[in-house]
Amino acid sequence: MLWYIGKRLLQSIITLFIIITIVFSLLRLMPEEGYLGAAADKMSPAQQEVYLSNLGLRDPLLVQLGNFYTNLLQGDLGKSVTYRTDVPVVTIIADKIIYSLLFGLGAVALSLIIGVPLGILMAHMKGRWLDRLGTGYIVFVVAVPAAVYYLVIQMYVTEIFRLPMLFDEYRPITWILPLVSMALAPTASYAMWMRRYMVDELNKDYIKLARAKGVKERTLMFSHVLRNAFIPMAQYLPATILFTITGSIYIESLYSIPGMGGLLVDAIQRQDNTIVQGLVLVFSSLGIIGLILGDIAMALVDPRIKLGKGESVR
């Protein structure tokens, strides 16, 4: 197991290395104005030249790449050019990621707590009222554009439950609506997948044998079906969790949460190359961590996956 994790980590670092190099190269192909920022108009061409070479942009490309890696290893992602001039990128991202992280994790936790049991119950009562109700909910959330039901929440739910609409760090009651809004879609998808995998498993032969040997329906559900149905879930769960963490532009702007959602768009619009670079690094690391966690989770629940040297499946 440790050997496997080590190997996967090594692979991921290589993947990350490739991604960073590609992003770095792409940004170097872009116009240099991005590094000049708002000051571009005020500088003479000679001044611009001095400024750019101070930034190291006149060095040979390989030297630039080398410098970039060295800085990266020291936790230095450079300084913001236009977004918040001269503030280290790490600081900017760190300020924002904390909100996205908390709301992301909160929403995922909420949707797991509601979605998974809902899916189980729906599979258990397949074809009955609860299943129909749940299916209705899933179809609604998936088919109706998010903007529509977010607006409904803003217009009516705030009224009915007297919940404040705008986010305020120091008033926990304002956290409720953003959390619920964020959890709506993942809840539906967890319920849908859980129901689907449970129903799949329930039709398998080993369930027939278990029934024939006199196992109670309830025991059957929890001791035989659930774990099997969870395998496909386990694999992609960590990845979905991490994608939720990266923040939702729409919800964050709706409730004015100072999270990461809008940062990438802002940075691109303002041609802030260093922030874009830093964000791509963060997002791809999260994605890769998600994949590793998925693989590990899957290996933990499924004995058929043999993790060892050579990874041979017997």
Contact set with another protein (CB under 8 A): 204-206, 208-217, 224, 227-228, 231, 301-304, 314
Closest distance of CB 233 from another protein, Å: 14
Q: How far apart are CA 230 and CA 73, in angstroms?
A: 38
Q: At what angle do helices 2-28 and 61-73 cross, to 10 degrees?
A: 140
Closest distance of CB 231 from another protein, Å: 8
Closest distance of CB 223 from another protein, Å: 8
Closest distance of CB 247 from another protein, Å: 36
Q: Quick count: other Cβ atoms within 10 Å of Cβ 172? A: 8
Beta bridge partners of 88: 79
- Residue 192's closest CA among 240, 251, 248, 149? 240
User: CB-wise, 107 or 194, nearer to another protein?
Assistant: 194
User: CB-wise, 145 or 214, nearer to another protein?
Assistant: 214
User: If DSSP codes are grouped into helix, strand and coil, which group holds residue 30?
Assistant: coil
Closest distance of CB 294 from another protein, Å: 18
Q: How far apart are CA 12 and CA 72, in angstroms?
A: 16
Closest distance of CB 89 from another protein, Å: 45
Q: At what angle do helices 273-301 and 226-245 cross, to 10 degrees?
A: 170
Closest distance of CB 126 from another protein, Å: 10
Buried b (16+ CB within 10 A) or exposed e, 2-32: eebeeebeeebeeebeebbeebbeeeeeeee
User: If DSSP codes are grouped into helix, strand and coil, which group holds residue 104?
Assistant: helix
User: CB-wise, 82 or 228, nearer to another protein?
Assistant: 228
Q: At what angle do helices 176-202 and 129-143 cross, to 10 degrees?
A: 120
Q: Quick count: other Cβ atoms within 10 Å of Cβ 310? A: 6
CA distances from 158 to 16, 125, 145, 161, 186 (A): 43, 33, 20, 6, 21
User: CB-wise, 60 or 303, nearer to another protein?
Assistant: 303
Closest distance of CB 239 from another protein, Å: 22
CA distances from 9 to 4, 73, 289, 290, 296 (A): 9, 17, 9, 12, 11
User: CB-wise, 89 or 229, nearer to another protein?
Assistant: 229
